[in-house]
Structure 1
């Protein structure tokens, strides 16, 4: 049995060797794929055209061999223009007709069948040529569109990164499958953010602007920076994950990051998640460097603060007499109390109780003078804004005290209607004093030409749902429609010697505090200025 098996195996080996000695057959699809390569298409098309013509003209096969000219037209898509395709298709049709005439030159047996095959071949070549021309036109449009997109992508002034978020999406889906409710739940579990893990986010492409923005030598260098760039702001990284988690179409944020050389820059970035790519395998991240803009805004803010300081000092200069009078009152009271105390002390039997009252009066008046000086120094000091918890009622009392003499000189009747339950606000005390001071002085000056016994100034505060409201009423002549539209514009003033910056500065200060300011008026019925400051979060 073993002998038989051995002979059989030997026979099979001999048969195998004999087969391997035969020429190897190359599959047709390999030849076709080789011919379809652009650099071989032109000679391949010529060879096929020659072979088809020879077979059609010199053989008597009862098949439509000329249909194979279709291959020539299709191969011509790789190298011919639309006009060239028409020429090649027309040439193939001409070769079909010429082959038909040559093969049937010695007689016309079975002419009907031959004509039918010739017609089918011509129709196939014509239709293929027409379709090839249309395909070539579509390819040209597509190529132009792709080139236009690529030009925009590479040269636009915004940095653009093309990213693959497949692994990130898979990590988020894994958390969902594990029972994590939302991204806040994931964060509370002290899970590592998947953004910074290697290969979680892959960089597919980046334009020249992005490389230049980050001082990266190439795309590979930029890709190594990705985890560091994305995790530069931890809060934004988690918010970004929340956008991926909830399936939002985009996410936008601003942050501070470092480039390859460690230079800090402020960037505004937008991540777009295409709706037709749920796997997030193609995500576009656009980045705009806003460092220069932020620096300009900071400089503008500094200039506004400088202008506000100048305006405060100028206002205090105008109030020199009133301030001196206001200071003189507690100082005179200190002197009076001191003198009274000395007299009680010089008696044969000093009246200690009276002396104590005099001393307490001196201390109280000295504190009063000290507070006035403190407020004046704060108003005149050049210091950056400092947001603290303040009460607008207290600020109103302190500020009106500085203009009390102006009120008395102009015979203005002042009334306060202050909300007893007014919540506190966050703001810069000095800046809010400047707003109130400016509005009160404007109201006093607006009533200059009114009769002395009719000049009334009403200051009110209200506790609204989300803000504290201050209203300052006067019964002056009111505002014309033209004045009301320009009232808060820089350098606009109705005063002969005014700078036109007071109300503009007031608006800037109130807006910086997140509030709003406005004026309403009826001709002959006075003007109401009102402004709001948002309440401290958690109050009201």
Structure 2
């Protein structure tokens, strides 16, 4: 190579080789001739790796790919000289790029390491380990030439500045100057990706100034003070800037390793905290939104601290307790212990108003026990069982105490999501349902009055049947009485015959009394009384009311009552009212349609957790235009009807937790079906 540059390259002690991107040699200096034994003429234009038989644990192709991606590579290769000797060579490759950024050439600096001393090998091994660690770390690492900054600080001290911190605050331009004086010696790949947008050469040799925005330079100033105080390291969270101008939140750490003192360098580690900071900001924003929503809600909300209560339950779990309900039963005081362990952490304004407090301070810190009357303890017990089963929500109507001790009907809602559970809290909502309860009570009263009126109306329709039912035992009593009189008029009455007549009279009197009792029950307006009942027995009792009507209308009744049915829990009178009402309606419809063979079928059968009652008739069926309105109040097809019978039937069934519907039978007639839950 002619000229000064050629003389410099040929005079270098290291092997210097320049090759094009395809691997063909463009420059081969004197040190390369000495190292490999090939003359310049023998190497120019030849493929470098093929000529020197280069190999590496990683393939040469892989090294070349890494070189093109990163712009540099350094390591050790094995190559073969002209004499056939294999040598270890330490090389450093750097990509030289053209104006458009495309690779133009690759320059290599090489050194023979075959005959290094043991000390040199150990030193190189340590350096190699450092380089591997430097590059492998997930954090961004920078090696900074700090020598000029050290000189500037020493000059400041020698100039008589005592209060260095005060000087820094008064002269921010000095901090700017030290940033410009600090030069980047080396960075790892993470630094290139984070700060240099993938271009290592844009960082190496530059200053630190572009990376420190004005609002963060006080942190850099702290690192200078730490250097003067000879601290081993300093870590601070701050904001830095990439070469592209993007701001990142970072953990900045600077240290002064002992091995770097002689080189005048310091090490800087930077961990990108942008995702964490963004997440923290989102959490804070989410908490702010939660607090705002918490306070704005019209529902009374209580944030309950459950840390101690969960510790109690966790202890039970650790002891192998799986059935918490059984544990509550065998340890009656444990429920109160759990309640005392739950305290109110926060409330919203709606809760303050609902509980009759002056402000939140009267509620915060209180155990929940104070607000639960003993009658409501089963509800909180069920909520704890729900939580123990890891269920995330619970809701039930109950009663709470206000601060003044008055009772309040509430809808108690509990949110026990995993997020809340992890923070040792649950969110409780209380909705005042006092007015709703009063309205429902009034509605139930009205429904009861309507049901009573409906029963009286129904009894009016059954007047002939009732008279017939009562007349039979009364006529029998009269006949038995006349017979007894005749026997008594004899000179020697037959006492055995008189005893038999008397027994029959007592039986008929009891039969009449039973009929009157059923009528009184049907006509009474007492509160609903639920009890365990046999479904088939209820139907048989109801049919007795219909006996005369069935005979008068010549209706054939067929009972298909399943054996072994479980009991139901219901009001006997109301259930009989439904059966009689449905049967009377069916008989009236069949009479109006002039059915030649009127038939009724009553059936019972068991379902999934419920019993099913069916009544079928042989009438004309339900007109399509009436089907959706059958159970509406005041809808009737009778000239003198009020349209309340089926509506009342529906209300009674739904109040018992069942369902009722009607359908047409394909072969003709209508079917009314209702279900009731099996008694627990």
TM-score by length of 1: 0.71
Q: State whether structure 2 residue 364 is matched by structure 1 residue 211.
A: no
- The 3-state SS of whatever aligns with 2:396 is strand
The offset of 1:521, in angstroms, is 1.7
Q: State whether structure 2 residue 366 is matched by structure 1 residue 224.
A: yes
Q: Could you report, residue by residue, the CA deviation over 1:148-193 in whole angstroms, capped at 9, with x for unpaired residues?
A: 5433211211122223322222332233334444424543552743
**Cα distance in structure 2, aligned partners of 1:366 and 1:395:** 23
Which has the higher mean CA deviation after the structures are superposed, 418-427 or 210-219?
418-427
Is contact 1:421–1:463 with CA below 8 Å preserved after alignment? no
User: Hey, what does 1:154 align to over in structure 2?
Assistant: 295
**Cα distance in structure 1, aligned partners of 2:567 and 2:243:** 87
Q: State whether structure 2 residue 562 is matched by structure 1 residue 405.
A: no
Higher strand proportion, which one? 2
Distance 1:369 1:27, change over 3 A: farther
Alignment of 1:270-285 (within 5 A): 270-276=413-419, 279-285=422-428
User: Hey, what does 1:52 align to over in structure 2?
Assistant: 172
Q: State whether structure 2 residue 521 is matched by structure 1 residue 378.
A: yes
Q: Could you tell me which of 166, 175, 183 is aligned with 2:316?
A: 175
Alignment of 1:54-453 (within 5 A): 72-73=214-215, 127=245, 148-184=289-325, 186-190=327-331, 192-193=333-334, 196=337, 200-222=341-363, 223-229=365-371, 232=374, 233-276=376-419, 279-419=422-562, 421-451=564-594
**Cα distance in structure 2, aligned partners of 1:183 and 1:454:** 61
**Cα distance in structure 2, aligned partners of 1:360 and 1:123:** 111
Distance 1:430 1:210, change over 3 A: same
Distance 1:195 1:365, change over 3 A: closer
**Cα distance in structure 2, aligned partners of 1:141 and 1:277:** 17
Higher helix proportion, which one? 1
Aligned-pair RMSD on alpha carbons?
4.0
**Cα distance in structure 1, aligned partners of 2:279 and 2:610:** 62
User: Hey, what does 1:498 align to over in structure 2?
Assistant: 641
Is contact 1:412–1:452 with CA below 8 Å preserved after alignment? no
**Cα distance in structure 2, aligned partners of 1:360 and 1:439:** 38
**Cα distance in structure 1, aligned partners of 2:313 and 2:395:** 19
The offset of 1:449, in angstroms, is 3.8
Is contact 2:175–2:217 with CA below 8 Å preserved after alignment? no
- Which sections of structure 2, spanning at least 5 residues, go unmatched? 1-161, 184-206, 219-239, 251-273
The offset of 1:208, in angstroms, is 0.6
Q: Could you report, residue by residue, the CA deviation over 1:338-393 in whole angstroms, capped at 9, with x for unpaired residues?
A: 11221122123323343333322322222222111111111111100111233333
Q: Could you report, residue by residue, the CA deviation over 1:196-215 in whole angstroms, capped at 9, with x for unpaired residues?
A: 47983343321111111111
The offset of 1:307, in angstroms, is 0.9
Is contact 2:210–2:242 with CA below 8 Å preserved after alignment? no
Alignment of 1:520-539 (within 5 A): 520-522=663-665, 525-537=668-680
The offset of 1:230, in angstroms, is 5.6
Is contact 1:270–1:286 with CA below 8 Å preserved after alignment? yes
The offset of 1:262, in angstroms, is 1.1
The offset of 1:445, in angstroms, is 0.4
Is contact 2:339–2:368 with CA below 8 Å preserved after alignment? no
**Cα distance in structure 1, aligned partners of 2:611 and 2:339:** 51
The offset of 1:468, in angstroms, is 4.1
Q: Could you report, residue by residue, the CA deviation over 1:327-347 in whole angstroms, capped at 9, with x for unpaired residues?
A: 222222221221122112212
The offset of 1:141, in angstroms, is 9.0
The offset of 1:530, in angstroms, is 2.9
**Cα distance in structure 1, aligned partners of 2:627 and 2:339:** 61
**Cα distance in structure 2, aligned partners of 1:177 and 1:334:** 75
**Cα distance in structure 2, aligned partners of 1:374 and 1:194:** 46
- Which sections of structure 1, spanning at least 5 residues, go unmatched? 1-24, 32-46, 77-121
**Cα distance in structure 2, aligned partners of 1:196 and 1:63:** 65
Greater Rg over alpha carbons, structure: 2
Q: Could you tell me which of 460, 464, 473 is aligned with 2:616?
A: 473
Is contact 2:371–2:403 with CA below 8 Å preserved after alignment? no
Corresponding residue pairs, total: 449
Distance 1:343 1:421, change over 3 A: farther
- The 3-state SS of whatever aligns with 2:303 is strand
Distance 1:383 1:27, change over 3 A: farther
User: Hey, what does 2:66 align to over in structure 1?
Assistant: none
- The 3-state SS of whatever aligns with 2:412 is strand
The offset of 1:406, in angstroms, is 2.3
Is contact 2:601–2:616 with CA below 8 Å preserved after alignment? yes
Q: Could you report, residue by residue, the CA deviation over 1:86-133 in whole angstroms, capped at 9, with x for unpaired residues?
A: xxxxxxxxxxxxxxxxxxxxxxxxxxxxxxxxxxxx98899488999x
- The 3-state SS of whatever aligns with 2:525 is coil
TM-score by length of 2: 0.57
Is contact 1:478–1:524 with CA below 8 Å preserved after alignment? no
- The 3-state SS of whatever aligns with 1:324 is helix
User: Hey, what does 2:118 align to over in structure 1?
Assistant: none
- Higher relative contact order, chain-length normalized (CA < 8 Å, sep 6+): 1
**Cα distance in structure 1, aligned partners of 2:554 and 2:412:** 59
**Cα distance in structure 1, aligned partners of 2:414 and 2:362:** 21
Distance 1:143 1:167, change over 3 A: closer
Distance 1:432 1:55, change over 3 A: closer
